[in-house]
A and B are shown apart, each in its own frame.
Chain A
Amino acid sequence: ETGVTQTPRHLVMGMTNKKSLKCEQHLGHNAMYWYKQSAKKPLELMFVYNFKEQTENNSVPSRFSPECPNSSHLFLHLHTLQPEDSALYLCASSHNLLPGTGSNYGYTFGSGTRLTVV
């Protein structure tokens, strides 16, 4: 376990459903991220939160709605998705927005949620 937990591990949803992905970290990190991982493509950064405030939205469609109630929890609310939204959604956290040094170095990732939209 890396300290970043994502649930559910797998999710199948219809295009008219509403569901949420959850990410939780117990590392004392202040920044959290949502990435989308599709086959044969680089990881795509979707959203960034720093101290619960959204600092970046990389032109993500409004059918994806993030929520960060505190520095330890991050949600991704999904509604009226399309089949092309099927992917692995990864959550990550870091001590702050900068890479950091020593033990605070880099991003820590969860195991992701495999989302299939049917």
Chain B
Amino acid sequence: AQTVTQSQPEMSVQEAETVTLSCTYDTSENNYYLFWYKQPPSRQMILVIRQEAYKQQNATENRFSVNFQKAAKSFSLKISDSQLGDTAMYFCAFIDTGANSKLTFGKGITLSVRP
């Protein structure tokens, strides 16, 4: 079974600075997808960024980028130029390409951006 581990329960960052959120996962599969979701106080789970395991290039979406280390099974999220609106819970998630695979989440991390 796949597991996703987010060991940091919470982090804080000053506005305009950079912060990195950690995530590790465990799987025996070779083909899979990784995601970071953001859940603000509105509770809407919003997709931030995604990465296909077969792609060596790290995904980037504006201020959000990932450091995908397949051998180490690590998938960290870097937020540059942090904004107050980035305050939210962030969840790392995994899904493989098997027929019955489902999205598996980590416990999440609470990120606070300080003005």
Contact = CB atoms under 8 A, between A and B. Distances in A.
A41 B103 contact: no
B33 A97 contact: no
Given A56-B100, A97-B99, A106-B50, A111 B105 contact: no
B42 interface: yes
Please list the 7 inter-chain residue pairs (A to B) with the smallest Cβ-Cβ separation, ordered nearest first: A109-B45, A43-B105, A42-B105, A99-B33, A112-B43, A111-B44, A111-B43
Contact of B44 (A2, A41, A42): A2
A48 B102 contact: yes
Interface residues of B, number: 25
Contacts of B97: 98-99
Interface of B: 4, 9, 33, 35, 37, 42-47, 50, 91, 95, 97, 99-108
Interface size class of A (residues with CB under 8 A): 20 to 34
B35 to A, nearest CB: 6
B47 A43 contact: no
Contacts of A114: 43
Contact of B107 (A42, A55, A109): A42
18 contacts: A33-B102, A42-B4, A42-B105, A42-B108, A43-B91, A43-B105, A45-B102, A97-B101, A99-B95, A105-B50, A106-B35, A106-B47, A106-B50, A109-B45, A109-B46, A111-B44, A112-B43, A114-B43
